[in-house]
A and B are shown apart, each in its own frame.
Chain A
Amino acid sequence: AQSVTQPDIHITVSEGASLELRCNYSYGATPYLFWYVQSPGQGLQLLLKYFSGDTLVQGIKGFEAEFKRSQSSFNLRKPSVHWSDAAEYFCAVGLYNQGGKLIFGQGTELSVKP
C-alpha cells in the first residue's frame, strides 16, 4: 500500500536558521507530491507541488523542495526561517488516475525560537 513518512514529529529551529523537513514515500511509480502547511485553527495551504520535470521546485513563502527518485524523498527546505513559519507541515502524495485523493504523512510540527 502507498504510504508517506515524515520521520520528524517535532522540530525546533532558531529564527534565521535553515530548515529541512523530511518526507519519504512508498509507491511503485512516481507519484505527484505536495507540501501543505497548517497554521493553528486554519485549513491546509499549499506550499508547493511536483508533477514532473525539474526536480527542484519553488513554492510560496520562500520554500523549496527537491524530488529525489532514488531516495523516494521530497524534502522541504527554507534557507532562513521566520517566526511566522511556526506551523504544522504535511507532505502528501497523489497518484496518477486515482481521482486526486491524497495520502498524507503524519505531519511535522515546526517551532521557531527567537
Chain B
Amino acid sequence: DSGVTQTPKHLITATGQRVTLRCSPRSGDLSVYWYQQSLDQGLQFLIHYYNGEERAKGNILERFSAQQFPDLHSELNLSSLELGDSALYFCASSAALRTGGRTEAFFGQGTRLTVV
C-alpha cells in the first residue's frame, strides 16, 4: 500500500460530460502530481500542486483543471469529455520539492476513465 488513495477506481461516462477524480496524498506529503496513462501517449505528466498552489503544468488540456485543498487532497476535473480522454489517471505524492527531487513519488492505484 503506497498510502496514496484515489477514488473512484472506475468511471464510465458519456462524451460531453464532466467528471471529478479525487486523490488523497500520503501523510506528510505536500506535493500531488497527476499523470495520464493511455495506450498511444504512455505515461504523461499533467500537473503538480504543492501545498495548495500550482507548481508546474505538463501536457494538460484546457478542458482539464485541478486543485489542491487545505487538507492537501486534490481533485482533477475533466470536462467536455471526448472518447480520446479514456485513460488511466494516476495521482502521486512525494516530498521531492523539499529535497530538490531526491525523493521517489508514491502512486495511487489510479482511476480508469472510460468515455462512451
Q: What distance in Å separates the Cβ of A58 from its nearest Cβ neighbour in chain B?
A: 15
Residues of B contacting A32 in the complex (Cβ-Cβ under 8 angstroms): 101-102
Cβ B104 vs Cβ A101 within 8 A? no
A28 at the interface (CB under 8 A from B): no
Give the size of the chain B interface in residues (CB under 8 angstroms): 30
A43 at the interface (CB under 8 A from B): yes
Segment among A16-24, A62-70, A78-86, A91-99 that sits at the interface with chain B: A91-99
- Enumerate A68-114 residues with CB–CB distance to B below 8 Å: 90, 94-107
Cβ B96 vs Cβ A90 within 8 A? no
Q: What distance in Å separates the Cβ of B95 from its nearest Cβ neighbour in chain A?
A: 8
Cβ B105 vs Cβ A99 within 8 A? no
Give the size of the chain A interface in residues (CB under 8 angstroms): 25
A11 at the interface (CB under 8 A from B): no
Cβ B97 vs Cβ A100 within 8 A? yes
Instruction: Knowing A43-B109, A99-B97 are in contact, say whether A104-B42 is a contact too (CB < 8 A).
Output: yes
- Write the B25-52 contact mask toward A (1 if CB under 8 angstroms, else 0): 0000001010100000011110010100
Residues of A contacting B110 in the complex (Cβ-Cβ under 8 angstroms): 43
The residue on B at minimum CB distance from A31 is B101
Cβ B107 vs Cβ A36 within 8 A? yes
Cβ B107 vs Cβ A99 within 8 A? no
Cβ B45 vs Cβ A101 within 8 A? yes
B103 at the interface (CB under 8 A from A): yes
A56 at the interface (CB under 8 A from B): no
B100 at the interface (CB under 8 A from A): yes
